[in-house]
Structure 1
Amino acid sequence: MKLKHLLATALITVAAALPAQAAEHYNFDIKGQHAFIEFKIKHLGYSWLLGSFRTFDGKFTYDEQHPENNRVDVSIETASLDTNHAERNKHLRSADFFDVEHFPVATFESSSYEPTGKESGIIHGTLNLHGISKKIDINVEQIGTGNDPWGGYRRGFEGHTTLHLSDYNMKKAAMLGPVAENVELFLSIEGVRQ
């Protein structure tokens, strides 16, 4: 009985001495390019036009015990927009749309995180695009986490949200018609723990 009591006391002491699981900080895996920001928009209502931003960076904090501490920050070079068509890219980068000369960077900064499941949630935050800041919500889901073959530790998520062109004062957005008002944004982000 005394032995059981001593073992129980020892276990409690060790547990108390262990540090609490703290928030983990991750950088987007840009070097290995295991991160993607893609979008799709309807072309005249007949098909989907697909595109992506090739140059961006970001970081996120993940706290399993206290998800309210989760956050993410992203910076995107708007001139890196690519729709696999040179003339269309040029037009979208012009003053008619993204005006990359005057607004070379778009940013997203989270303000809060709302869990919706064990590995899913909604990131609330502010997107600054084309000189306009708007509150948006991004639905996120964890895809996986664990050690990598190079001695690091990774965590990956996907996210979805819908943007509205009229919110960002793009001069020629109306010429695309009402079916092009909504832009579906998809993010696949793998982070390396720091």
Structure 2
Amino acid sequence: MALTARIRTRDGWALSHAVVTVTDMTGTQMLRAEADDEGAVRDTTELVPGPYTVIITAVGYAPSASTAIVTASGRAEVGTVTLARQGGAELPPPGPWTVDPAHSTVGAVARHLGISSVRGRFTDFTASVEIAPDDVTKSRVETVIRAASIDTGNDMRDTHLRSSDFLDVETYPKITYLSTGLTAAGPDRWTVHGTLTMRGVARPVDLDLAYLGTGSDPWGGTRAAFRATAELHREDFAMDYNQVVQAGIAAIGTTLKVELDVQAVQGDALPHP
């Protein structure tokens, strides 16, 4: 007999830690096999022709059960089986991921004069992600941003933002974010709970996160894409500066919208310079 199966995630990646268990119609276990690095299962255990139950499990994923028929030729082809994340929400495969700053953006948007928006981004940052294998809600995100790398496209404005009126980069050169957990908010959507430390002030900040999927890159790696947003209030981080102009309108809004577009590479280091 030859039982074959291919185990995949919803976006087509191999589940190398999947386990296939086959039982007869009385519930007696007849074989147990583990998937290889390609998510494939091939077992040569001899079974008599007839129906069997095939149960496929993987840590962090909802199990799958189906019926397979062993034919007179002794073959049972289960085909490709797709497992969904436990609870119906998706994230990349478990393990470490490293954010690629060259293909990621850490930005913020502020209102200007109450009628338009000013956009800025930080150009120097590092970040890592750890997708927990057993309980995905215990996954972790850690980010360090160089505050002086703020760039709004205007040198005079950027110099002011680096001053003690705002980021005070001489005293507080780093902005950090450390997650404390995840909560599923729907298929492919999560709330990341964490602590943002800026200007020496630590505040809880939640990120609304969308997982956009995974794919291969030209350097032989696997990449995952995310988009996240959050709202911050400047006064929560001791940035009280403002200038009131005509009609009592603040020159700079007190609320900032944070916008993150992130590519992360599987592994604990980037595979290219």
TM-score normalised by L of structure 2: 0.63
Separation in 2 of the partners of 1:16 and 1:59? 28
* 1:167 shift after superposition: 0.2
RMSD: 2.9
Partner of 1:186: 259
* 1:180 shift after superposition: 0.5
- Partner letter of residue 222 of structure 2? Y
Q: Which moved more, 1:139-148 or 1:16-25?
A: 16-25
Q: Which moved more, 1:176-185 or 1:116-125?
A: 176-185
Partner of 2:114: 45
Q: Which moved more, 1:147-156 or 1:61-70?
A: 61-70
Greater relative contact order (Cα 8 A, min sep 6): structure 1 or 2?
1
Separation in 1 of the partners of 2:168 and 2:162? 5
* SS class of match (1:88): helix
* 1:188 shift after superposition: 0.7
Q: Which moved more, 1:7-16 or 1:80-89?
A: 7-16
* SS class of match (1:98): coil
Partner of 2:184: 115
* SS class of match (1:172): coil
* SS class of match (2:107): strand
Separation in 2 of the partners of 1:20 and 1:50? 43
Separation in 2 of the partners of 1:173 and 1:136? 23
Q: Does 1:158 align with 2:227?
A: yes
**Structure 1 portions without partners, runs of 5+:** none
- Partner letter of residue 13 of structure 1? R
Partner of 2:167: 98
* 1:118 shift after superposition: 2.3
* 1:93 shift after superposition: 0.3
* 1:8 shift after superposition: 3.6
* SS class of match (2:160): helix
* SS class of match (2:32): helix
Separation in 2 of the partners of 1:3 and 1:162? 56
CA distances 1:71-101 after superposition (whole Å, capped 9, x unpaired): 2111000000011000000011001111000
Q: 1:11 to 1:65 in 2, by over 3 A?
A: farther
Q: Return the match for 1:83 from 149, 152, 173.
A: 152
Q: Return the match for 1:140 from 187, 209, 232.
A: 209
CA distances 1:21-74 after superposition (whole Å, capped 9, x unpaired): 5722100113xx111101110001021011100100100122476321222111
Separation in 1 of the partners of 2:142 and 2:148? 19
Structure in which a larger fraction of residues adopt helix = 1
Q: Return the match for 2:98 from 22, 27, 32.
A: 27
Whether the 8 Å CA contact 1:125–1:136 is kept in 2: the answer is yes
From the CA coordinates, give the structure whose radius of gyration is larger. 2
Whether the 8 Å CA contact 2:112–2:251 is kept in 1: the answer is no
Whether the 8 Å CA contact 1:72–1:110 is kept in 2: the answer is yes
* SS class of match (1:14): strand
Separation in 1 of the partners of 2:212 and 2:243? 37
* 1:173 shift after superposition: 3.9
Whether the 8 Å CA contact 2:242–2:252 is kept in 1: the answer is no
